């Protein structure tokens, strides 16, 4: 009988060790962008760890990672399922619950934006904004959350609300000039802000917003050639704005 108990305990320890190793291996390789290595380990370890320790934040992180990787592979139904599991897992956490909820609601909200499901995105991104405010997180992340919500309002035709959020985001950004994401975030928010202003035929203000956006994004793209596409995107928007303005005024 004692031998049987020892065998059971040994098997349990081996199983736990394997789950731990798979989880840590999967998450580390996900962070390195090695998705093909991460996926099998996370698919195996995540449900097992969820059974034994549902309060472990790695369960939330793993489901979020699986959702992100499924989305990258355009397996959208699986991606949504994993994101919803991550959200459910985050709701049970005891440590850093608000931070994990903010991250998953932001990610799931942006997923719904990409799928044109703006009504589904709205409550998630509203909640993400409230969570980031309550957490007293840094100004850049608060600005990013506001800008995400502004995008949804734009798509729902609520341009005034969207512009108000963009203005709030820009004010917050100026509090974090030393942040590594300062120029990129400012450039993105200014671009989105300019697109909204343009819809009100405010040529000068839209042009100024695009020009400031280009300036910030060029600074961010210094020695980062993979970021040049953002600059090109705004330069095209500026060019189209000028062309449309000239056509209307027959210049």
**The predicted structure's pLDDT at residue 9:** 41
Task: Render 219-241 in DSSP notation, one character per residue.
Answer: HHHTT-GGGHHHHHHHHHHHHHH
User: Can you give the pTM of this predicted structure?
Assistant: 0.83
26 and 53 together in one domain:
yes
Last residue of a domain, one of 137, 172, 207: 137
User: Are residue 92 and residue 196 in the same domain, yes or no?
Assistant: no
Residues 84 and 16 in one domain: yes
DSSP assignment, residue 242?
A: H
Whether residue 128 sits in one domain with residue 36:
yes
One domain for residues 93 and 169: no
Q: pLDDT at residue 226 above 80?
A: yes
How many domains in the chain?
A: 2
Q: For 89-129, what is the HEC assignment?
A: HHHHCCCCHHHHHHHHHHHHHHHHHHCCCHHHHHHHHHHHH
Boundary residue ending a domain (82, 115, 137): 137
Q: Classify burial at 36, counting beta carbons within 10 Å of its beta carbon; exposed 0-12, middle 13-18, buried 19 or more.
A: exposed
Among residues 107, 137, 167, which one ends one of the domains? 137
Length, in residues, of the chain? 251
CATH assignment of the domain containing 202: 1.25.40.10
pLDDT digits (tens, 9 = 90+) for 7-35: 344 344 444 458 888 899 999 999 999 99
Domain hosting residue 232, numbered range: 139-251
The 10s digit of each residue's pLDDT in 118-153 is: 999 999 999 999 999 888 778 999 999 999 999 999
235 and 201, same structural domain?
yes
Instruction: Scan for tokens 């499901």, then name that residue.
Output: 117
C-alpha torsion sign, points 176, 181, 187, 189: negative
**pLDDT, tens digit, for every residue of 39-89?**
999 999 999 999 999 999 999 999 999 999 999 999 999 999 999 999 999
């Amino acid at each position: 009988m004692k031998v049987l108990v020892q065998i059971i305990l040994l098997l349990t320890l081996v199983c736990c060790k394997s789950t731990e190793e798979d989880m840590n291996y999967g998450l580390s390789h996900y962070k390195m962008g090695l998705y093909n290595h991460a996926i099998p380990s996370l698919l195996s370890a995540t449900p097992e760890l969820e059974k034994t320790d549902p309060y472990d934040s790695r369960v939330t992180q793993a489901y979020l990672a699986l959702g992100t990787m499924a989305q990258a592979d355009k397996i959208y139904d699986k991606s949504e399922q994993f994101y919803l599991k991550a959200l459910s897992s985050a709701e049970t956490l005891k440590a850093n619950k608000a931070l994990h909820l903010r991250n998953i609601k932001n990610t799931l909200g942006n997923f719904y934006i990409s799928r044109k499901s703006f009504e589904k995105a709205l409550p998630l991104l509203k909640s993400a904004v409230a969570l980031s405010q309550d957490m007293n997180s840094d100004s850049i992340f608060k600005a990013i959350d506001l800008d995400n919500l502004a995008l949804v309002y734009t798509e729902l035709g609520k341009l005034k609300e969207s512009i108000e959020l963009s203005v709030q985001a820009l004010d917050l950004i100026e509090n974090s000039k030393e942040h590594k994401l300062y120029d990129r975030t400012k450039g993105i928010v200014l671009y989105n802000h300019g697109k909204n202003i343009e819809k009100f035929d405010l040529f000068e203000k839209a042009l100024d917003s695009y020009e400031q956006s280009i300036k910030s994004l060029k600074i961010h793209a210094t020695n980062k050639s993979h970021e040049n596409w953002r600059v090109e995107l705004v330069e095209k928007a500026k060019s189209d704005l000028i062309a449309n303005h000239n056509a209307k005024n027959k210049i």
